[in-house]
């Protein structure tokens, strides 16, 4: 058994296909322990540290920082028995040999095409019986002259004077022919210079395009040999894809004014930003959104928070208006459980637990971690959970598990001084509440105009599940709680 073990990038949760290497926590020559963090990787959901599967000495690091690596790709090689002396040359060569870079054509054909001489006879890509090449299933075409069936409606074909071998690595010498004017080939979406050829794209890209309803055949590839990349698909979603057309000469007199690249900034779309874009695009075009608004006098709720902060057992607890909003949402869900549900095609799944998502703005973008089974927590436990959730998010340490399985979400746009908004539903959820800024405004109270603490709520919901009556009652109950928390608790609990 080889001492050198290659560690592949694992799937860090919910079918993620790739991750970006943010930082290596070890270097070549370091002696590491089992489960010691060795690399920090950013996925589409979070930045996580990956522990080592084996103890030993780091022999090779295959990808530098800043590289995006697909799941299952080797990222580091570890000598699991460094005290046994030098590694045999054959073992070192086997562990450090560079794998051949597959061409775009081989990816489209879904077959392995290693470099000649690197595969043993009988293995994929090696020599097979009869002089053929072993491919993924069975054996490849025979090496020999091509044979054609004679056409019934035409003269018999003469055998070719120069046999045309079937092996892709050999090219027959062309027979001189009469000069023919070169034909201009319009660029095509498959990058092979021919209409109707196979579309070149990696399997993760194909899945990404399928999920978004994008036809790869309509895209122009920007990858190697014209292959379609994730960026090409994303540009199609954003509406900026240019469909391939025949090249045409443009008049210099009609060209528009242009500016230099030094006055433009290009920000790579990856990680959390990419996931957010994909989720919002999918949600906006699948769930029919309806948004309702309610302006509430929350003066009594603000006074209740002040009294709560003054209690001895709450003095070390972070108490904010968002805490009361979260409590109001959880109590309203008990009264209207249909709001906490998911559209599943031929059925609606109503959930008896509430994984309450709290949208958080971080340096890496907007993330929505959630508090598991928040409806079972006391107000003090809910306050502690929300504080820990926000602190973890701002530190960039939110795990994929904390952002999975949300059932209902609150977005606090009021912290930015915004009155309210029309939030987009997270995929799989049926409602999201926008909590606006609390402002002192003139308000009619007990027949007189007085300055009162006022806020505006915006509730977006999936109209396939929640009709206008249910959405209105749910929003009204949240407003009633915030208008008078003590009375609502006495009436509902």
Distance CA 293, CA 421 (A): 9
Residues 321/315, Cβ–Cβ less than 8 Å: no
Angle at Cα 192 formed by Cα 188 and Cα 193, nearest 5°? 60
Distances (CA, A) of 223 to 211, 228, 245, 371: 20, 6, 18, 41
Give the position of tokens 């929640």: 466
Distance CA 414, CA 48 (A): 30
Active site residues: 463
At residue 299, φ and ψ (nearest 5 deg) are: -60, -45
Whose CA is closest to 367, among 341, 386, 389? 389
Number of neighbours of residue 23 by Cβ within 10 angstroms? 12
Residues 400/14, Cβ–Cβ less than 8 Å: yes
Handedness of CA 264, 270, 273, 278 (dihedral sign): positive
Helical spans, DSSP H, in 290-404: 299-310, 321-335, 379-394
| Helix, coil or strand: residue 206 | helix
Number of neighbours of residue 249 by Cβ within 10 angstroms? 5
Whose CA is closest to 429, among 392, 453, 462, 402? 462
Q: Please tell me the chain's helix, strand, coil percentages from 3-state DSSP, rounded to the nearest 5.
A: 30, 20, 50
Distance CA 38, CA 91 (A): 23
| Helix, coil or strand: residue 315 | coil
Burial class (CB in 10 A: 0-12, 13-18, 19+), 369: buried
Crossing angle for the helix pair 321-335 and 485-492, nearest 10 degrees? 30
- CA 239 and chain centroid, separation: 19
Crossing angle for the helix pair 203-212 and 271-284, nearest 10 degrees? 40
Q: Own/partner pairs for 396-400, CB < 8 Å, 24+ apart?
A: 396/46, 396/47, 396/362, 396/363, 396/364, 397/46, 397/47, 398/46, 398/367, 398/369, 399/46, 399/48, 400/12, 400/13, 400/14, 400/16, 400/43, 400/45, 400/46, 400/48
Residues 17/110, Cβ–Cβ less than 8 Å: no
Distance CA 175, CA 164 (A): 12
């Amino acid at each position: 058994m080889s001492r050198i073990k290659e560690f592949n990038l694992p799937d860090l949760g919910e079918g993620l296909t790739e991750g970006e290497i943010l930082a290596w926590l070890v270097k070549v020559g370091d002696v590491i322990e089992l489960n010691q963090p060795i690399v920090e990787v950013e996925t589409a959901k979070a930045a996580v540290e990956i522990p080592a599967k084996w103890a030993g000495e780091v022999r090779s690091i295959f990808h530098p920082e800043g590289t995006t690596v697909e799941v299952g790709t080797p990222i580091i090689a570890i000598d699991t028995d460094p005290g046994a002396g030098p590694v045999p040359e054959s073992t070192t060569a086997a562990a450090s040999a560079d794998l051949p870079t597959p061409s775009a054509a081989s990816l489209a054909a879904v077959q392995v095409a290693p470099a000649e001489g690197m595969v043993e006879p009988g293995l994929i890509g090696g020599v097979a019986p009869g002089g053929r090449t072993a491919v993924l299933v069975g054996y490849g075409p025979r090496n020999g002259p091509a044979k054609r069936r004679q056409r019934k409606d035409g003269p018999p074909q003469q055998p070719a004077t120069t046999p045309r071998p079937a092996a892709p690595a050999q090219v027959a010498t062309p027979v001189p022919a009469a000069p023919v004017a070169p034909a201009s080939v319009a660029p095509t979406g498959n990058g092979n210079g021919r209409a109707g050829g196979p579309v070149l794209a990696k399997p993760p890209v194909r899945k990404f395009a399928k999920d978004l309803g994008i036809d790869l055949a309509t895209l122009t590839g920007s990858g190697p040999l014209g292959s379609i990349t994730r960026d090409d698909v994303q540009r199609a979603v954003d509406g900026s894809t240019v469909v391939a057309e025949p090249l045409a000469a443009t008049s210099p007199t009609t060209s528009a004014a242009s500016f230099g690249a030094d006055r433009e900034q290009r920000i790579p779309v990856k990680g959390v930003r990419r996931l957010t874009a994909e989720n919002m695009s999918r949600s906006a075009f699948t769930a029919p959104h309806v948004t309702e608004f309610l302006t509430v006098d929350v003066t009594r709720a603000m006074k209740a928070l002040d009294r709560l902060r003054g209690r001895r057992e709450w003095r070390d607890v972070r108490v904010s208006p968002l805490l009361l909003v979260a409590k109001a949402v959880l109590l309203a869900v008990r009264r209207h459980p249909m709001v906490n549900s998911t559209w599943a095609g031929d059925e609606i799944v109503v959930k008896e637990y509430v994984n309450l998502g709290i949208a958080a703005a971080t340096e890496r973008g907007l993330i929505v971690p959630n508090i598991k089974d928040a409806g079972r927590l006391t107000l003090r436990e809910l306050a502690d959970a929300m504080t820990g959730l926000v602190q973890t998010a701002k530190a960039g340490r939110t795990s994929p598990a904390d952002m999975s399985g949300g059932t209902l979400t609150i977005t606090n746009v009021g912290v930015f001084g915004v009155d309210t908004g029309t939030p987009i539903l997270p995929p799989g959820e049926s409602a999201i509440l926008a909590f606006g800024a609390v402002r002192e405004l003139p308000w009619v109270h007990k027949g007189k105009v007085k300055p009162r603490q006022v806020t505006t709520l915006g509730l977006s919901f999936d109209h396939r599940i929640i009709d206008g009556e249910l959405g209105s009652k749910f929003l009204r109950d949240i407003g009633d709680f915030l208008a008078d928390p003590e009375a609502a608790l006495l009436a509902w609990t």
